[in-house]
Structure 1
Amino acid sequence: MAKKKTSIKDIAKALGISITTVSFILNGKAREKRISEELTRKVQDYIQEIGYKPSHLAQSLRLGKSKVIVFMVEDISNSFFASIARLIEEKAYKNGYKIIYCSTDNDSEKAKELITTFKMRNVDGFIITPTPNLDNAILELLDEGLAVVLFDRWIPGIDCSYVVVENEISAYEATKHLIQGGCNNVGFVTVESSQTQMVDRLKGFQHAVKESNTKHSILEVKFHAIAEQEASEKILEFLKNHADLDGLFFSTNYLAFEGLQSLARLHKQIPKDVKVVSFDDHYFFNLYQPQISAIEQPLESIADKLMESILLQLDENSLGRKFQKITLPNELHVRQSSR
């Protein structure tokens, strides 16, 4: 016989308090209803102890929509994510929604905790750049009927909406640009990752060098080293050990920043000694001398499609769930660093 699911009534009876009090606490209204912190903690500890999970569908039917969407990304301070966030905020507001921002640091446990917390707050949907091992958490959101859109990367095997860019094609074109510009030995500096966007950028690079039989080297840096001195040291060591590189392609702009610093320390002249291209354009690349060639992602289009996809799922008049799977083109800006 299946185990009976614990209800709010069961929790209230076990703790000797009213069902209404339990409901207020579960829905984040304890302070508003002047429920003591001690009692709030008592209820929260108990539901954690018994593994209680409130029905999001039941909460939505009882309380109505919150008109809140969670924007959960790797790092909200990153210029790419911050730019998308600002555009999303404007578009959400025009449609009667508010946005909550948060960063996962690409940590799956942190991401799962954030998702659980926001589900308890009765949010209407999630726009997520998924961390590794977040498959089950995403599936649970979908099973509970919440609106979910993935972006920047998607999860193979999960049928849901996503908005991504042409990572593999763009990486291929950028690498070909370096080769056609006279580079005979190209280095690729990227993040050690199994996520789709980084895998595809690596594939694009490998396709281009293999197709032209070009000598090449690859450096993969651990993600959590990016914010530390280790990333810079790894890139510097890589460049010292591959002094004959005449072309460099960085898979992200923050890796390019470290790479440019390392090239300067080694007194390498761009583009005379080495040509440079980066994925993810940045205003700094136009200020740097020489100006750095870079692949620009279509921020406005990404934001438009993200809102379009999530609003389609939130539309009460929509018949059945509709998923959008969107891949957008990028643009390579050729500047002084690769001419």
Structure 2
Amino acid sequence: MKGISIKDIAKQAGVSPTTVSFVLNGKAKEKRISEQVSKKIQKIATRLKYKPNQLARGLRTGKTKTIGLIVEDIANNFFATLAKVVEDEADKYGYKVLYGSTEDNTEKAKGLLEVLKYRQVDGYIITPTKNLDKEIELLQTAAKPLVLMDRYFPQLSSHYVVLDNFKGAYDATTHLVKQGYKKIAIVTIASEQTQMKDRLDGFTAALKDNKIPFSKSLVKRLPFDLDRESFNNEIKKFLTSVKDLDAVFFATNYLGISGIESIRSLGWKIGKDIGLIGFDDHDLFRLHVPSITCVSQPIGAIGKHIVEVLMTELNHPSASPQQIVLAPELIIRESSSRM
């Protein structure tokens, strides 16, 4: 079905397509179009359910009122919830959001950036992959408004909104120590990106500050792209290889879910045979019996700050980057208490 065009509205209103274009683009007063004619055009456009062609509008105005959002995995509970917050916040400013997942794959991330450039998005919100720094620099050189989220590149001066991952991991590990756990391991992702590095650093710092022995044998790094069965098998092998292990910290929520499966398949009881904490909350953590202690990110605040920073950059470009680091919350539940 053919869409409604400006010419269709002009014909019914008895005016020129140029007049309709001025009214629909908010230039009625500037072009001295009467309020009566303006209202008539807007009424017809509403009745006909006119939807502007964003690409065509972008060519005329330089603005498409769209934002590109690139996340690691839209199927992940954290990123899915954050994407919804960003979508709702952007809508308050009249912006629509186009998004995609990188699966932590740099080539896929580059492809998504090309698609968003073609769609002429006005700004970018990016969860960067490890080798995307050159592409970020090119966008900055082209004066494209962008905000990094969840992680950033220390060598780049850029806007970003992230969590204090070091504190989240430090508080979680300290909590386990105070509960009496002494042989604490961490299962994390094999990544040198800021968010994962800070979580591992927070874990090791907490053990050191609490005078708990640490060795590399207590750290298990897993590739991001393993399937569920492989995650479970690797976690089971690791947990059974550490002598006298009494607690484990999972550095992401999907690792935590695999950890629960693995521990149950071993016949161990969470909270009794082994303490457990996960990073990022999840409905399963709340509903599981026993419930799972976790480091929770303020997703609402993260999404709101991201959009606010991007809108500021879109409307008032600034040379000094806004770099926002938000505090996590440790939600204490049954899995980290000796029962």
Classify the TM-score, shorter chain: 0.7 to 0.9
Residue identity in the other structure for 2:140: L
Residue 224 of structure 1 aligns to a residue whose secondary structure is coil
Structure 2: distance between partners of 1:231 and 1:85: 26
Partner of 1:185: 183
TM-aligned CA distance change 1:132 to 1:327, over 3 Å: same
The residue aligned with 2:239 is 239
Amino acid at match of 1:134: L
Shift of 1:228: 3.9
**Structure 2 partner of 1:219:** 220
Instruction: Give 1:268's aligned residue.
Output: 268
Q: Which residue among 94, 109, 112 is the counterpart of 1:111?
A: 109
Aligned length: 278
1:214 counterpart letter in structure 2: I
What is the match of residue 146 of structure 2? 148
Larger Rg: 2
- What's the counterpart of residue 34 of structure 1? none
How far does the alpha carbon of each residue in 1:114-169 deviate from its partner, in whole angstroms, 9 at most, with x for none? 11221122111110000011010000111111111000001111111000011001
CA distance in 1, matches of 2:67, 2:310: 9
Q: How far, CA to CA, are the matches of 1:213 and 1:85 in structure 2?
A: 40
| Structure 2 counterpart of 1:67, from 65, 68, 73 | 65
Q: How far off its partner does 1:231 sit?
A: 1.1
Q: CA deviation at 1:77?
A: 1.0
1:276 is displaced (CA, Å) by 0.8
CA contact (8 A) 1:245 1:274 kept: yes
Runs of at least 4 residues off by over 3 Å: 59-63, 319-322
Change (3 A) 1:319 1:208: closer
Report the CA distance between 1:80 and its aligned residue.
0.3
Query: Which deviations, in whole Å up to 9, do the C-alpha atoms of 1:224-273 show, x marking residues without a partner?
Result: 11x34211111010011115211110001110111111111111112111
**Equivalent-residue separation in structure 2 for 1:136 and 1:306 (angstroms):** 22
* Distance across 1 between alignment mates of 2:187 and 2:126: 25
Partner SS state of residue 89, structure 1: helix
Q: 1:98 to 1:244 in 2, by over 3 A?
A: same
Alignment deviations for residues 28-72 of structure 1 (CA, whole Å, 9 cap, x no partner): xxxxxxxxxxxxxxxxxxxxxxxxxxxxxxx96754201110110
Partners of 1:228 and 1:282 in 2: how far apart?
17
- Which amino acid is the alignment partner of residue 141 of structure 1? L
Aligned to 1:7: none
Is this contact kept in 2: 1:313–1:322, CA < 8 A?
Answer: no
Task: Output aligned runs, 1:70-149, within 5 Å.
Answer: 70-149=68-147
Residue pair 1:309, 1:323 contacting (<8 A) in 2 also: no
- Displacement of 1:319 after TM fit? 5.9
Alpha-carbon deviations, 1:192-211, whole Å to 9, x = none? 00100000000000101122
Q: Per the alignment, in what secondary structure is the counterpart of residue 220 of structure 2?
A: strand
TM-score (norm 1): 0.79
Kept in 2, the 8 Å contact 1:65–1:124? The answer is: yes
How far residue 212 of structure 1 moved from its aligned partner, in angstroms, is: 2.4
Aligned position for 1:24 = none
Cα distance in 2 for partners of 1:262, 1:96 equals 46
1:82 counterpart letter in structure 2: A
Query: Secondary structure at 1:183's aligned position in 2?
Result: coil
CA distance in 2, matches of 1:239, 1:186: 11
3-state DSSP of counterpart to 2:225: helix
Output the CA distance in 2 between the equivalents of 1:70 and 1:243. 48
TM-score, normalised to structure 2, is: 0.79
Deviations 1:266-325 (A, max 9, x none): 11112111111111011111110100000110011001100011001110xx26445210
CA contact (8 A) 1:149 1:310 kept: yes
Deviation of the 1:96 alpha carbon = 0.7
Per-residue deviation at 1:215?
3.4
Q: Report the equivalent of 1:160.
A: 158
Task: List gaps (5 residues or longer) in structure 2.
Answer: 1-56
| Residues in 2 aligned to 1:160 and 1:324: alpha-carbon distance in whole angstroms | 7
Q: Percent identity?
A: 41
Cα separation, partners in 2 of 1:320 and 1:277, compared to 1, 3 Å: closer
Cα 1:228/1:284, change in 2 over 3 Å: closer
Distance 1:319 1:287 in 2: 45
Contact 2:270-2:290 at 8 Å conserved across structures = yes
| Correspondence for 1:209 | 207
Distance 1:166 1:319, change over 3 A: closer
Structure-to-structure mapping, 1:188-199, within 5 angstroms: 188-199=186-197
Q: Distance in 1 between matches of 2:317 and 2:164?
A: 31
Distance of 2:259 and 2:244 partners within structure 1: 15
